[in-house]
Structure 1
Amino acid sequence: MFLLNPSSMLFMFTLILGTVITISSPTWFVSWLGLELNTLSFIPLIMHHKNSISSQAALKYFLIQALSSATLMASAAMMLLSTASPQIMISLSLLLKMGAAPLHFWLPPIMQSLPWIQCLILMTIQKIAPMALMSYILSPVTSKVLMMASIVSALVGGIGGLNQTLLRKIMAFSSINHMAWMLAALYMEKSLWLNYFLIYSIVSSSVVILMNMNQIFHLKQLFFIPNNQMYKVSTLLSLFSLGGLPPLLGFIPKMMMTTFMAKNMLILWLLTLMMTALLTLFYYTRISIMSFMLTMPKYTMNFKENLNQKSTSFLIINMIPIFSPLIVLIQF
């Protein structure tokens, strides 16, 4: 296992430590130190598999994060002279660091070069620190930047994933689309963002674990998916939950966001988010249908021989968080 490696455990600890330092720091300089510790801890995790693809991904990630950190520090120093322009530059540097549109250009190619577990870290843990810093500098000026970034992220995430056949790129555009919802949550209330992020992390983890179990990276590889009904149902529910289909777990934060934005009369913004969420649900449905309809007899026979009780129980445990809202509804 990747995460059971002693060096990986050390770098995961320092990565989380950097995030905690950034969130709890009283000054921009300490925040910058936390971001750098976080970045320098993630780069060795990217290069865990020593090959040219991982090296290129690590170099690209380092250059992007270095550009973002340099812009952040320069803008923080400029705040001694004025307030409006440096705040806009800080917002743009944080949007670049978290991979939100229109500064998303680096996220899909880097995720395409990473294994599934590192993709999960990039989609979840690496978003916490820049989004927390973004919430600290909210003002009338930065709120407009946040709104525009949310709308553009929704459009890019929804449209960009339609013509993709590589699953990691699809998850990257899905992450950009979910980033639009999280930026909208930051615009309104921090507790909404926290709830959305926690549920998004749970659902994304279930999808990534299922893909990582059989090392599936391309839509064509769904031909080799195990002919096990539990596996197929778990994949279907995880993807639909990620798309926000009721009554699964991923629907709850989107329902909360829809209610809150409708009460605040942010109708056009809400319509953009909902329409692009339907586009993401389309390519989740495409993956689900292919996983159900495509099977390879020889492979499925071999899989039935290798399927043990442990993997079946693991799939059931993986489905419990996705099914949790349905369990609550049944009681009523």
Structure 2
Amino acid sequence: MRLTTKVFTVLLVLLFGTALFAGQWVYKPMSINAQKGDVVLSPGEGFIHDMLGLLGCYWSHSGMAIDDGANIRHNTMYVSEVPIEYNYFLGIKTTPKRLNPDRLSNGLPGILTEDIDTTYNVTKSFMASGGAVLKPTATNEAGYRGALNAAAEVMKYLVAYYRVNSYMNIYQLDYVNYLIKGRGNACSGTCWYANYFSGKTMSVATIPPNLVSVCASNMYSSVVNMVRDNAGGFGSFVIDIEGLFGTGADEKVANQIVNTFAFDRSTDTSSYWRSRVGSLTAHANAPDHLLLQNFINPAGANPGVQTESTSYYGQVDPLVITAGYYYWVD
């Protein structure tokens, strides 16, 4: 066969083969078993997790699916990225003096969107083990999904800081898509507002003064231990020396965080909170408070405050993650 004939034959195969098998491989990203508007729950760790456990809560973080399982939008704060102001001894940086007050009161990144691979495997904002999806019951799915889609659209619009103080007072988020100092919410408060701004007012938990006091004391102890662990051997030694002459660095930072939590006094490293926190009543929601009242969580408690009339979310499914894969589209 002459060369020109071979070339012509190859061109015919490519031309008709392409027409016959027209299409492409498309990648479907990693996803979870959540639909647009469902709330995604996650257990966690750290002083917020420890504090919520005192209220019978199992989950300590939440967000909302803003599509059918590929992306979660949530409000969070990277505590490890809050700038630390240090003490110095003979020109050597030693122990923390306090956290940057502005960044402590107005936590970043605040509300953000992450795909499933990023949030579970990179930033690890959510934990897969023990995770759950809060959704309507099968009976109510068709009737409620439109409203939840609307809540997800609100969630996509909202921009705000993470506010530690919103664990005392949930009512501090505005319907805006830009950051406002002193305004924002925590994770579940933001999910609450996404429903509220789309027309559904969910119930809010009331935490009595005795429990607020217990939570504050627990938070204080957790932060003291965290600061000492991060300070290392020499740092802990300096903290002990400081304590002989007044308040050590561990106590100052712990006081600052509790003062922010209870009173939004993010510049205050004194024990201001101790004589006052016992008179406070908190009105705020943790993740478990988004559950129905009769739901028993994995910790064996039922801290939920919702009823069938206050919430679209009547069912809790275990989290299921589906790995990303390619599929052929004609």
Query: What TM-score do you get using the length of structure 2 for normalisation?
Result: 0.26
Larger Rg belongs to = 2
More strand per residue? 2
Structure with bigger RCO (C-alpha 8 Å, 6+ apart): 2
Structure 1 or 2: larger helix share? 1
TM-score by length of 1: 0.26
